[in-house]
Amino acid sequence: MKDLTVGTSDCNRVANSFRRGLGSYHAQATAQARVAVDLADLLQKCVGDRRFAHVFEFGAGTGHLTEALFHRFDIGTIALNDLVAEAEPPLQQTVAAHGGKASFAVGPIETCAFPQGVDLIAASSVVQWVPNVPQLMQRCAAALTPNGWLALSGYGRGHFRELAALGSTAAAPNYMDHSDWPAVLPQDLQLVELRQAAITLHFASPRDVLRHLRETGVNGQSQGGWTRARLVGFEAAYRQRFSTPQGVTLTYDPVLILARRR
């Protein structure tokens, strides 16, 4: 696990990046949408078609996971969190379409107050942004009722491997492989499922990769602008190393985690 700390300025930069990409995120974040559906499907496989009386979802974004949960489960109340306040209106629309209304808290999950006595805590494509994952897991365990469920997805060390190979600084602070997770869960969280499988996207050009990153807001840790010479060099190196008959690749490396409160 990377031992990196995200400061206030970095958090603000990440928030601004997601804020800029919010309008295009839902349509362009195809890999994240797939991961959210896979996480909800995995949870349903483990628990069946059950009712969750009190749900907390953090880093809810534009509602990929929110929608997937409502489609699969009977949900009583739901509390939502996201880093940016602008995420609330589309999230409320999603919940309202299923006959509910969500409470909403804005800000990084590290400083957000957790609702207590919840029987499901969920987050998709979020935990890689959290510097202190063991502390977050302790807070999740404390908020869950006995036999409550924790459903998470993050990303492993193979995430955006193409960008890392070319020296990108856009990485999130915590890419954790499936083998890292047992060590960060507290004793009162029993690991139930742990899966890791890469998703490879193809783009017509390296510039389309950069456009995808901008439209999904996931390059919030990137520092420094693009000069023409730097862009030309990046495109040439990317094509040389990561071209396929289907186009250049971009690898997502999702890790799905299900745990249950003892």
Q: What is the pLDDT of residues 119-176, one digit of tens each?
A: 999 999 999 999 999 999 999 999 999 999 999 999 999 999 999 999 987 788 999 9
Q: Please give the model's pTM, rounded to 2 decimal places.
A: 0.93
Between these two residues, 26 and 251, which has the higher pLDDT value? 251
Q: Residues 6 or more apart from 112 whose CB is under 8 A from it? A: 58, 81, 105
Residue 12: pLDDT over 50? yes
pLDDT of residue 9: 37
Dist. CA 241–CA 82, nearest whole Å? 36
Task: Kindly write down the DSSP assignment for every residue of 112-166, as one continuous string.
Answer: SPPPSSEEEEEESS-GGG-S-HHHHHHHHHHHEEEEEEEEEEEE-TTTTHHHHHT
Contact between 139 and 114 under an 8 Å Cβ cutoff? The reply is: yes
pLDDT tens across 86-129, in order?
999 999 999 999 999 999 999 999 999 999 999 999 999 999 99
Tokens in use for 243?
């071209």
pLDDT score for 73: 97
- Cβ atoms within 10 Å, residue 234: 19
What's the confidence (pLDDT) of residue 224?
57
pLDDT of residue 222: 57
The CATH H-level superfamily of 8-261 is Vaccinia Virus protein VP39 (3.40.50.150)
Q: Where are the domains of the chain?
A: 8-261
Give me the torsion for CA of 251, 8, 88, 212, rounded to 10°.
-30
pLDDT at 5 over 80: no
Separation of alpha carbons 124 and 117, rounded Å: 21
Q: How far is CA 83 from CA 44, 175, 191, in A?
A: 27, 19, 27
Structure tokens, 118: 């919840």
Res 58: pLDDT: 98
Please state, in angstroms and rounded to a whole number, the distance separating the CA atoms of residues 25 and 195: 25
Reading the block at residue 257, the tokens are 């985690």
What is the average per-residue pLDDT within 215-238? 83
Tell me the pLDDT band of 6, cut-offs 50, 70 and 90: very low
Q: Which of 165-174, 203-212, 220-229 has the highest mean pLDDT?
A: 203-212
Q: What is the pLDDT of residues 21-79, one digit of tens each?
A: 888 999 999 999 999 999 999 999 999 999 999 999 999 999 999 999 999 999 999 99
The helix (run of H) or strand (run of E) holding residue 91 is: helix 88-97
Task: Tell whether the model's pLDDT for residue 81 goes beyond 80.
Answer: yes
Per-residue pLDDT tens over the stretch 174-203: 999 999 999 999 999 999 999 999 999 999
Let me know how long the chain is.
262
Residue-level pLDDT at 129: 94
Phi then psi for residue 126, to 5 deg, are: -125, -45
